[in-house]
Amino acid sequence: MTESAPDPRRARNPRIAFAVGLLAVLACIGGGGVIALLGNGPLPLDVAWFDVSNRTLSPWILAVSRFLNDAGAQVVVGVVLPVAAAILFRIRGQGWAAVAVLLCGILSAPLVAAIKSALERPRPDDQLIPVSLSAYPSGHVANLVAVLVVLALILRWRWFTVLAVVLSIAMALSRTYLNVHWISDDIGEMLLGSGLALMVWGALARRIRAENSRP
């Protein structure tokens, strides 16, 4: 009995994902470079959203934003969440899925730190929580998006994909409500986090699919 030919669409998808991810990461870096060339200050979109966020800030929004700030710390999103997910994947015999989640958790923080150090963009005034380093890009957003996106790609559960989108947007908006990031910082981090996840998944997709197809 001869083997059926592989579906060419399935063969191309990981390469496309990797290429799109690489473009997203480069867009994040390029966007930061454009901001620096324009003086490293807020863009018109940043100023407009800064005014809206300060006008609409309420006690419950502030409470949620503070909670997300603590929940999205590097030790939680960059270490605890990916390690816990990797352990569960390993128990289920999905070693490559575990590697993918760990890589996203490990790589996002140094990428963010390198871009921050290179650009040193000032943060908004009147910050509501203590912060360090520069504004662009947002580490909280990048770390969360990278881990959630790669999990969504691996699991392919619709409800989890919706949850990942909602949590990512909520985290991004919370950073602006706390006056620690401009909205363009969050856009840059959305690009970086999702791009990193797509690159990792694209590089390991065939191995992950092979594990999932085992009886």
Q: Within a 13 Å sphere around the CA of 132, how many CA atoms are in the beta-carbon half?
A: 1
Residue 95 is assigned to a structural domain of this protein? yes
Residue 203 is assigned to a structural domain of this protein? yes
Residue 6 is assigned to a structural domain of this protein? no
Cα–Cα distance list, 3 to 6, 7, 9 (Å): 9, 12, 17
Residue 29 is assigned to a structural domain of this protein? yes
Q: How far apart are CA 20 and CA 29, in angstroms?
A: 14
CATH number at residue 74: 1.20.144
Residue 132 is assigned to a structural domain of this protein? yes
| Total tally of structural domains belonging to the chain | 1
Sign of CA dihedral 107, 82, 142, 62: negative
Tell me which amino acid residue 18 is. F
Residue 3 is assigned to a structural domain of this protein? no
pTM, two decimals, is 0.88
- Return per-residue pLDDT of the chain as tens, 215 residues: 344 433 434 445 888 999 999 999 999 999 999 999 999 999 999 999 999 999 999 999 999 999 999 887 778 888 889 999 999 999 989 999 999 999 999 999 899 889 988 888 999 988 888 887 788 988 888 899 999 999 999 998 999 999 999 999 999 999 999 999 999 999 999 999 999 999 999 999 999 988 876 65
Residue 1 is assigned to a structural domain of this protein? no
Residue 214: what pLDDT? 65
Q: How far apart are CA 179 and CA 170, in angstroms?
A: 14
* C-alpha gyration radius of the chain: 19
Residue 2 is assigned to a structural domain of this protein? no
Residue range of the domain that includes 184? 12-212
Residue 2: what pLDDT? 40
170-186 CB burial, b ≥16 within 10 A, e <16? ebbbbbbbbbbbbbbbb
Residue where the block lists tokens 């990942």: 164
Residue 23's contacts (CB-CB under 8 Å, 6 or more residues apart) are 195
